[in-house]
């Protein structure tokens, strides 16, 4: 494995993108988030993912966000989100990420114009990989894209040296295990559904890309440290209440609320159409964070 692959076989949080009171990206706060998660034991950094509200950022803001994460990172490699439905836009974002110092890029299948033919998705990824200056991670998130990446498509793309891994946020462990069975051993299958990280690791997955690792990276570090141990089981059970709050209010909103409560950032602002966690729900977030820490 390369150093990048070794890092990805740990925990790589999809970082939140903090905003200031005027709605602009708060780069100082973003640097604080990077310091927080690195000190909590994460192995990689993923700016401009779903939790990072990439779809609400301009291309220039995405590039600046990646630059900040690269500059703020101590040792953790950076995998930058480049998702876009147009191939040229995804490639342009990959080129900008490379110029910013990222180590790899992450892309979903094209959204809105979806296709029932897996060949179309494979052609999209192959075209992006052919032109990207950085290696590519596939990102399966059917709730927003409309369909899952077919396991045979993932297996075909996995034969390429420039396609390293797939992040699966489907929440369907059977599907994720199909990816494990269909793809080569050196190809990484990463769990993006937080409460399925531990069962995934125990059944052959390689690592995690989990939103709540923004808030409680120490808990995810405990899970990755010894997945077959009792502490990992307790930690996995303990993140479930916080995950449930995310289901109600959204991962970016809850992650930012948790980071405010932990004193990492000052503002929980999100961009429309997302909304911040209501004030009367803050206690529930705080209690869920304490519950998670009690497990370790």
36-79: pLDDT as tens digits: 999 999 999 999 999 999 999 999 999 999 999 999 999 999 99
Angle at 279 between CA 277 and CA 281, to 5 degrees: 65
86-101: pLDDT as tens digits: 999 999 999 999 999 9
The mean of the pLDDT values for the chain is 96
Question: Is the per-residue pLDDT at 112 higher than 90?
Answer: no
DSSP annotation of 73: -
Q: How far apart are CA 32 and CA 38, in angstroms?
A: 10
Cα–Cα distances (Å) from 254 to 19, 275, 294, in that order, read 14, 10, 19
Q: How far apart are CA 122 and CA 140, in angstroms?
A: 13
Of 5, 109, 18, 8, which Cα lies nearest the Cα of 68? 18
263-274: pLDDT as tens digits: 999 999 999 999
Question: Is the per-residue pLDDT at 158 higher than 90?
Answer: yes
Q: Specify the pLDDT at position 106.
A: 98
Catalytic annotation, residues? 139, 167
Question: Which of 39-43, 274-278, 284-288 shows the lowest mean pLDDT across its residues?
Answer: 284-288
Q: Specify the pLDDT at position 115.
A: 75
Question: Is the per-residue pLDDT at 113 higher than 90?
Answer: no
Q: How far apart are CA 275 and CA 283, in angstroms?
A: 17
What phi, psi does 163 have (nearest 5°)? Answer: -120, 115
Predicted confidence band at 188 (pLDDT cuts at 50, 70, 90)?
Answer: very high
Of 222, 283, 276, 282, which Cα lies nearest the Cα of 251? 276
224-247: pLDDT as tens digits: 999 999 999 999 999 999 999 999
Q: Specify the pLDDT at position 117.
A: 87
Question: Is the per-residue pLDDT at 1 higher than 80?
Answer: no
């Amino acid at each position: 494995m390369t150093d990048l692959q070794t890092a990805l076989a740990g925990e790589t949080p999809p970082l939140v993108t903090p905003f200031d009171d005027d709605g602009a990206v708060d780069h100082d706060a973003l640097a604080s988030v990077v310091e927080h998660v690195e000190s909590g034991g994460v192995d990689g950094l993923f700016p401009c993912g779903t939790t990072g509200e990439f779809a609400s950022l301009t291309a220039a803001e995405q590039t600046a966000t990646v630059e900040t994460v690269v500059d703020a990172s101590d040792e953790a490699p950076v995998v930058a989100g480049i998702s876009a439905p147009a191939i040229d836009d995804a490639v342009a974002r990959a080129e900008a990420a490379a110029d910013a110092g990222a180590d790899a890029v992450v892309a979903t299948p094209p959204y809105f114009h979806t296709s029932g033919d897996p060949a179309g998705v494979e052609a999209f990824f192959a075209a992006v990989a052919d032109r990207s200056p950085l290696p590519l991670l596939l990102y399966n998130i059917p709730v927003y894209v409309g369909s899952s990446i077919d396991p045979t498509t993932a297996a075909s793309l996995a034969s390429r040296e420039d396609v390293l891994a797939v992040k699966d946020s489907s929440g369907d462990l059977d599907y994720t295990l199909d990816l494990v069975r269909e793809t080569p051993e050196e190809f990484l299958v990463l769990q993006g559904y937080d409460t399925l990280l531990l069962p995934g690791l125990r059944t052959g997955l390689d690592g995690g890309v989990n939103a709540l690792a923004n808030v409680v990276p120490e808990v995810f570090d405990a899970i990755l440290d010894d997945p077959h141990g009792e502490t990992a089981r307790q930690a996995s059970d303990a993140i479930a209440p916080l995950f449930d709050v995310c289901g109600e209010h959204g991962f970016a909103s809850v992650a930012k609320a948790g980071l405010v409560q932990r004193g990492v950032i000052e503002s929980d602002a999100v961009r429309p159409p997302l909304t911040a966690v209501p004030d009367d729900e803050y206690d529930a977030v705080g209690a869920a964070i304490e519950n998670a820490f009690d497990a370790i």
